[in-house]
Amino acid sequence: MKHKVKLLVAAGMLVAVSSAVGASHLLSLKDSKGNVVYEEKAMHETQPGVTPASDLTWKGKVNTIGDRELNAGEAGIIYVASDNPEHQLELRFHPFQFNDAAAFQTKLGHPELNVPNSLEGGYSFEKGKIHFGPALDLRLLSSDEQLAMAQELREQAEQAGKDYAIKPVALSDEFWDAQSVYSNGEDEISLRILNLGDQSHTASWEDTIQMTKTQLKEDGKEAILTQYTDSTRMELVWIVEDTDKSVNYQFILESKSGDIDAEELEQIWKTLLK
């Protein structure tokens, strides 16, 4: 039997609820042990900090170099000499791209997740991308280690007569973000999978955004359906648990087409649960 609990998220309502604590807890999804794996919070709007012009210039160069030099499925640590007085490093990595469902599923390497070739309603696999995390995390390096790497890359750039240098980084064997897109004519539905590992995930948004949230229950499974008031966008989120590996995956079914209603998205979710 299906049970629905609806909650209208309105700006004034959220401010009243969250004024004392800074965030309003809304809905959550739990694993088989009763642990909260996914939860949603609305945050008060904050003023963005001012980024120095030199940082913006440097970031722009890093992005341009990463897009130009790194192919799909590659990762690298980028050092740019100009506009970089602190000798900062940036890690960039690009997803693998696919136009074939079988190739996508093979690269993903998790048949137990049952990523389909098509979705109910005549939606066929159109394209997909898979992010594999880099084997090296800059955040885990000490300041001295980062400085030594920056010096090494600066020297490489000087020897090559360039303003930048890239240190190739291997990718891990485990994906962390995969997205497949299905189309039926001009309508598209995307299915995104986040590998949460043994961690939980909190989703947040500014409390000025208006939306309707519906908690769905079907055959012991739970999901959260979000319908945005000012657009045709809809999201349906649920958790798939791998008890053998103690790993959780967050599934996100999303549509931005006005020709797809909530009932159709819910029916696709039910089909994916089987």
Q: What is the DSSP string of 30-69?
A: E-TTS-EEEEEEEE---PPPPPPHHHHHHHHHHHHHHHHH
- Give the count of domains, the chain: 2
Which residues contact residue 109 at a Cβ distance below 8 angstroms, ignoring those fewer than 6 apart? Answer: 175
C-alpha distance across the termini of the chain, in Å: 16
Do 243 and 233 have their domain in common?
yes
pLDDT at 6 (0 to 100): 36
64 lies in which domain range? 53-94+134-172
Burial (0-12, 13-18, 19+ Cβ within 10 Å), 161: exposed
- Please list the ranges in the chain whose pLDDT falls under 70: 1-25, 44-54
Q: Is residue 146 domain-shared with residue 195, that is, in the same domain?
A: no
pTM above 0.85, yes or no: no
How would you classify the pairing of strands 36-43 and 201-206? parallel
Q: Are residues 212 and 249 in the same domain?
A: yes
Q: What is the pLDDT of residues 234-258, one digit of tens each?
A: 999 999 999 888 899 999 999 988 8
Largest CA distance in the chain: 69
Domain co-membership, 153 together with 227: no
pLDDT confidence of residue 45: 54
Contacts of 207 (CB under 8 A, 6+ apart): 11, 14, 15, 18, 24, 42, 43, 44, 45
36 and 15 in a common domain:
yes
Q: Indicate if 119 and 218 belong to the same structural domain.
A: yes
pLDDT of residue 22: 36
Statement to judge: residues 178 and 167 lie in one domain: no
> Does 138 fall in a domain?
yes
CB 250 within 8 A of CB 239: yes
pLDDT at 51: 60
pLDDT of residue 53: 64
